[in-house]
Amino acid sequence: MIGTAALNASGVAKFSTASLSVGVHSMTAVYLGNSNFVGSTSSALQQTVKKAKTTTSLVSSLNPSTKGKPVTFTATVHPASGGAPSGKVTFKDGATLLGSAAVNLTTHKAKFTTSKLSVGTHHITAAYGGDTNFLSSVSPVLKQVVKP
């Protein structure tokens, strides 16, 4: 049982929940009856719950930065419908993997710090890999400038 609802004057009961997991659920409604009416069970309704969409944003702690000095990239995973995305964010400079970090369940942020970027402009992205409840997403490119 996931919940109960009272019948209104028209004999209709409404129940809402946000607690269903991703997947297909066979839902039924059970009326227990009363002194005037016999109880009954509805036929099953197949309710499909899909993964929720996300977007990922990316910021730099210092842009432009200086060669050899640390710069921290912070990715924030924004769930479209609430909840707490888990999993990892992968940070890349173009096609080159820089590293990864776990998403904080409270802040929805993942942070990666490096001091190994060469002088020039780097095209940094943060890719959230998704989890059992949330779809993956990739940030827009952040142009990180590194000065000598």
Q: What is the pLDDT of residues 73-91, one digit of tens each?
A: 999 999 998 889 999 999 9
Query: Do 23 and 67 belong together in one domain?
Result: no
Task: State the Cα–Cα distance between residues 41 and 32, nearest whole angstrom.
Answer: 8
Query: Do 80 and 11 belong together in one domain?
Result: no
- Quickly state the pLDDT bin for 19 (edges 50, 70, 90): confident
pTM attached to this predicted model: 0.81
Residue 81 pLDDT: 84
Query: Do 96 and 23 belong together in one domain?
Result: no
What's the Rg (C-alpha) of the chain? 24
Tens-place pLDDT, residues 3-16: 999 999 998 999 99
Query: Do 34 and 71 belong together in one domain?
Result: no
Query: Do 46 and 98 belong together in one domain?
Result: no
Given a contact cutoff of 8 angstroms between Cβ atoms, the answer to whether 32 and 41 are in contact is no
Stretch 132-142: mean pLDDT: 97
Nearest by Cα to 1 from 41, 56, 34, 36: 41
Query: Do 31 and 64 belong together in one domain?
Result: no
Domain CATH for 113? 2.60.40.10
If one counts every other C-beta atom within 10 angstroms of the C-beta of residue 24, the result is 10
**Number of domains forming the structure of the chain:** 2
- Quickly state the pLDDT bin for 71 (edges 50, 70, 90): very high
Query: Do 13 and 42 belong together in one domain?
Result: yes
Query: Do 66 and 103 belong together in one domain?
Result: yes
If one counts every other C-beta atom within 10 angstroms of the C-beta of residue 65, the result is 20
- Provide the residue range defining the domain that includes 64: 54-147
